[in-house]
């Protein structure tokens, strides 16, 4: 099964929030975030996918997700690159 680590960013928000997650169904997960059925921290905002990376195992995806969540500098570099 293929897994994705993704980075989403708020649309039309003064807060300029980002969120990192992993999933095996990217389209469904983004739809959940945008319908207030996603993670608690994403509710109340509209989100756009700005980055995704494919993995062949869940454990590798989870490991990369953890690293990306903890590394704010890397997240900001990705946001700037894909503006």
Q: How many domains does the chain have?
A: 1
pLDDT per residue as tens digits for the range 17-40: 899 999 999 999 999 999 977 777
pLDDT at 76 exceeding the cut of 80: yes
70 and 20 Cβ atoms separated by less than 8 Å: no
The CATH number for 58's domain is 3.40.1440
Question: What is the per-residue pLDDT for 14?
Answer: 78
| Domain containing residue 58 | 3-81
54-71: average pLDDT = 97
Mean pLDDT rounded to a whole number for the chain: 91
């Amino acid at each position: 099964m293929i897994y994705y680590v993704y980075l989403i960013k708020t649309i039309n928000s003064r807060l300029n929030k980002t969120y990192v997650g992993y999933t095996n169904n990217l389209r469904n997960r983004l739809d959940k975030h945008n319908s207030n059925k996603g993670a608690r921290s994403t509710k109340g905002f509209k989100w756009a996918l700005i980055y995704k990376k494919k993995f062949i195992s869940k454990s590798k995806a989870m490991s990369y997700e953890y690293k990306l969540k903890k590394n704010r500098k890397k997240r900001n570099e990705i946001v700037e690159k894909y503006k």
